[in-house]
């Protein structure tokens, strides 16, 4: 796993990325800042945006739990005001006949829940905000 800090459209995120093939890793993960123009010239910015959508962690003291894919919310396990730890299950969603847990990526207090049980959501939809 490689931990990266990425700035996309003025927002800074910290993401963890698993390297699958070593031969491409050096060209995709340059030693310079990922927000430099060189990554835009290589059209890799779309890949970085997808990674950020799947693991959104704003660095400003709050974290958004987001949907890794489109599907239906089947359960919400917390309420506004609850204190959660990194890894705690916030909600569950069903996609392609599989239940996927949606977990907190950081510890804090649930400040907002953006979905309801039964709601059909898109990939990247914000499920909850942890402050």
- pLDDT greater than 80 at residue 26: no
Write out pLDDT tens, residues 89-121.
Answer: 999 999 989 999 999 988 999 999 999 999 999
Write out pLDDT tens, residues 44-68.
Answer: 666 666 665 555 444 446 789 999 9
Domain extents for the chain? Answer: 2-54, 63-130
User: Mean pLDDT, the chain, as a whole number?
Assistant: 77
C-beta of residue 104 within 8 angstroms of C-beta of residue 66: no
C-beta of residue 80 within 8 angstroms of C-beta of residue 116: no
**What fold is seen in the domain 63-130?**
OB fold (Dihydrolipoamide Acetyltransferase, E2P) (2.40.50)
């Amino acid at each position: 796993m490689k931990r990266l800090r990425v700035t996309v459209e003025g927002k800074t995120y910290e993401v963890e990325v698993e390297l699958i093939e070593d031969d491409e890793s050096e060209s995709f993960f340059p030693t310079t800042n990922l927000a430099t123009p060189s990554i835009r010239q290589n059209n890799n910015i779309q890949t970085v945006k997808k990674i950020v959508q799947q693991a959104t962690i704003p660095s400003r003291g709050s974290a958004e739990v987001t949907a890794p894919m489109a599907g239906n919310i089947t359960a919400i396990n917390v309420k506004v005001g609850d204190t959660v730890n990194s890894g705690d299950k916030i909600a569950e969603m069903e996609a392609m006949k599989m239940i996927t847990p949606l977990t907190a990526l950081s510890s804090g207090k649930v400040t907002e829940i953006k979905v309801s049980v039964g709601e059909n959501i898109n990939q990247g939809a914000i499920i909850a905000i942890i402050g």
